[in-house]
Structure 1
Amino acid sequence: MATINPLITAPFDHNTDFTELADNCERFCEAMLCEEDPTMKIALCGRLAACLALLKPTLHEPIPRDLEAYLTVDSLPLHQPEFAPESDALCGYCEAIARLLISNTLAPDTACTMSDLLAELTSYFAERLKAPRWLATDAGVEWIN
C-alpha cells in the first residue's frame, strides 16, 4: 500500500501567517523533488498552489504586530536570500518555459504569467552571460568573484 505524505493533510488556511505559508511552500517543493509517484507529485503541487493562492493577497499588507519581533534582528544576517542559479540551469528553465508556451496548453492568464517569467529569466540570463568576468588593475587582470 502506498504511503501518503503527511504534507498532503498538513492544515493551513487564510488565518495561517505568511511565514508559515512560506515554510509550507518550501516543504511542498522539497517533497515534490523527492517524490517518485506522479499522483503524489500532482497532489503536492496542488497543495503548493493552494498555499501560494493564500499568500498572494497578503503580499502588500502590513506585517502583523505579532510577527514583528520574529522579523527583527540585532545585527544583519550573514546570508541574504538570492536567486543565483548556474547558467546551465537558468538556460534549462528558460527552455522549459518556452516549450511550455509553445505547447499552447496553458490557460490565457497562466500563459501570460509564464511569458512574464520567461522574459524576466531570459533578461537575467542574458545579463549574467554578458557580465564582465575580469577586472583590469595596475597589477594585471583579476577574476571578478
Structure 2
Amino acid sequence: MTTIPNLLYIPCRDSFTVQLLATPLPASANLFEVTDFCTGFVNVLLETNDPAERIAILGRLSQAFTRMAQLCDDDLPPELVIRLTTDELLPSSMPDLWHDTCLTVGYLQSLTQALLGNTLAKPVADDLAGLLHDMVYIVRDYVQEPYLVH
C-alpha cells in the first residue's frame, strides 16, 4: 500500500480513513506525490462501504486529478528528471494508445464523476471503482517509469 507522509498507523480502518481525508494535498506536491496520494485514496475507496466516506474519498480524488492534469503540462522538477533517467529503457506499463497522460487523467476524472453521481447500481459502481483503482495504478506506474536515456 502506498504511504503518505504524516499519516500515523492506527490499527483501525476508520481512524486511517478519517486521517487520510483530513490530510491536505500540499500545493507544492509534484506529479509523483499526487499520484501516490491518489493510490492511497483508491485503496481506501475499495475497502469502504460507507456512502458518506465513499463520496468524501471520491471528492478528494477529483481534486487530486484536477491537480494532476495541471502538472501534466508542467515541466518536471530536476529531482524527478534524475529519477526518470536510466541507461536502458524497459517496456512501458501504459498501453500505446494511452501515452497521453492528460487524456488518461481525463478518463480518471470521468470515472470519478460517474461514481460521485451516486446513481449507479451497486455492482456497476463497484466495478467502476475497481477500474478506477487499476487505472490509477497504471498512471502512477507510467508517470514514474524512466523514459530518458543517459
Q: Is the 8 A contact 1:12 1:21 kept in 2?
A: yes
Higher Cα radius of gyration: 1
Higher relative contact order (CA 8 A, sep 6+): 2
Instruction: Note the 1:109-124 alignment, pairs <5 A.
Output: none
> How many angstroms does 1:79 deviate by?
5.3
Whole-angstrom CA distance in 1 between matches of 2:67 and 2:28: 9
**Pick aligned residue for 1:53 from 30, 51, 66:** 66
Whole-angstrom CA distance in 1 between matches of 2:40 and 2:94: 17
SS of the counterpart of 2:75?
coil
- Partner residue of 2:79? 66
- Partner residue of 2:49? 36
- Partner residue of 1:3? 14
Q: Is the 8 A contact 1:13 1:54 kept in 2?
A: no
- Structure 1 unaligned segments of length 5 or more: list them: 84-96, 106-145
Q: What RMSD in Å do the two structures reach over aligned CA positions?
A: 3.1
Instruction: Note the 1:80-95 alignment, pairs <5 A.
Output: 80-82=93-95
Question: Aligned pairs, how many?
Answer: 88
> How many angstroms does 1:27 deviate by?
1.8
Identity %: 24
Q: Is the 8 A contact 1:32 1:44 kept in 2?
A: yes
**TM-score of the superposition, structure 2-length normalised?**
0.49
Whole-angstrom CA distance in 2 between matches of 1:25 and 1:77: 24
SS of the counterpart of 2:88?
coil
